[in-house]
Amino acid sequence: MFRTEFPYTLLVRRKLLILGALALLAACREPAPPPPPPPPTVAATVLVYETVVTPENRSLRWQVLTDGNRVRFGDEAESWRLFDARAKTVTFVDETRRTWRSMTFDEALSARRRLLETPLPEGAPRARVTEEPLGLVDGRGAVKVTVEAGGYRRALVLSTGTMLPAGSLAMKSATDPLEPEYAGMLRDLLPVLLAKDGTMLSDRNEVAYEGGAMSVETRLVSVRANNLPKSLFEVPAGYRAEGPQQN
């Protein structure tokens, strides 16, 4: 006698065989590696600034980041500085060359004072520096520092209480870019800034020239707390250390 099976019974058996083979393959396959752990983060304060350039009427927003000890200014791109308030060091990082170098605050200050002693070009004016209390600005006590020299005028408003680690303003002032031939014009500004320990609330620079004028104005827009990658406050891995340079 012949045994007869219905076509759907054969189809079910075939599906079961396929499913069994797939299950066997899955059991023999190595387990997937666990996902990498998230990068470490630190509690940080983020200060958001807006800079407006006229008459072009261009604007951009950038940030100042601090983890309570180290400070990084977000308006610096390929070359940037990392300030360590506890160690009192400034680290210069060059992302294009993948290099870095550090100097102490005392070294940076000595180099800046030597630069400020550079003789001025003939006929160049010395800057006149004045300061005045402003009371409250956006709910914060503030002082205004004004610098005037010829057709150049700068009005810098600083809070009397700092939102950044102590010494940050002094370290930044001692290492900000400065054209050597006109450094002597601003020699009276550095002692004023070194005596302050506040945070910039606004900074307006104006240059008048024949037929017009231009200005660059920066204002503090917001302050917030955030968790940020710890790597933002470190020299990137693999960068090469350079020797000391004159600043």
Q: Is residue 27 part of a domain?
A: no
Q: Is residue 121 part of a domain?
A: yes
Q: Is residue 105 part of a domain?
A: yes
189, pLDDT greater than 70: yes
Beta-carbon contacts of 58 under 8 Å, excluding residues fewer than 6 positions away, are 52
- Residue with more model confidence, 182 or 223: 223
Q: Is residue 26 part of a domain?
A: no
1, pLDDT greater than 60: no
3, pLDDT greater than 70: no
Q: Is residue 147 part of a domain?
A: yes
24, pLDDT greater than 90: no
Q: Quick one: pLDDT at residue 170?
A: 92
- Residue with more model confidence, 36 or 101: 101
d(CA 160, CA 178): 25
Q: Is residue 3 part of a domain?
A: no
187, pLDDT greater than 70: yes
- Residue with more model confidence, 181 or 201: 201
Q: What is the mean pLDDT of residues 199-218?
A: 92
**98-157: per-residue pLDDT in tens?**
999 999 999 999 999 999 988 888 888 888 999 999 999 988 999 999 999 888 999 999
- Model confidence at 4, pLDDT cuts 50, 70, 90, reads very low
Q: What is the mean pLDDT of residues 32-52?
A: 90
d(CA 80, CA 65): 12
- Of 241, 233, 229, 231, the residue nearest 94 (C-alpha): 241
Q: Which of 15-19, 45-49, 225-229 has the lowest mean pLDDT?
A: 15-19
159 half-sphere exposure, CB direction, 13 A CA radius? 14
- For residue 96, the domain's CATH number is 2.50.20
Q: Is residue 11 part of a domain?
A: no
Q: Which of 5-14, 44-53, 115-124, 174-183 has the lowest mean pLDDT?
A: 5-14
d(CA 105, CA 115): 15
226, pLDDT greater than 50: yes
Token pair listed for 54: 């006229």
**Total domains in the fold of the chain:** 1
Q: Which residue segment(s) compose the domain that 157 sits in?
A: 41-241
Q: Is residue 34 part of a domain?
A: no
236, pLDDT greater than 80: yes
User: Could you say which DSSP state residue 194 is in?
Assistant: H
Arithmetic mean of pLDDT over the chain: 86
Q: Quick one: pLDDT at residue 11?
A: 47
Q: Quick one: pLDDT at residue 168?
A: 92
**60-70: per-residue pLDDT in tens?**
999 999 999 99
d(CA 173, CA 71): 13
Q: Quick one: pLDDT at residue 209?
A: 83
d(CA 201, CA 86): 24
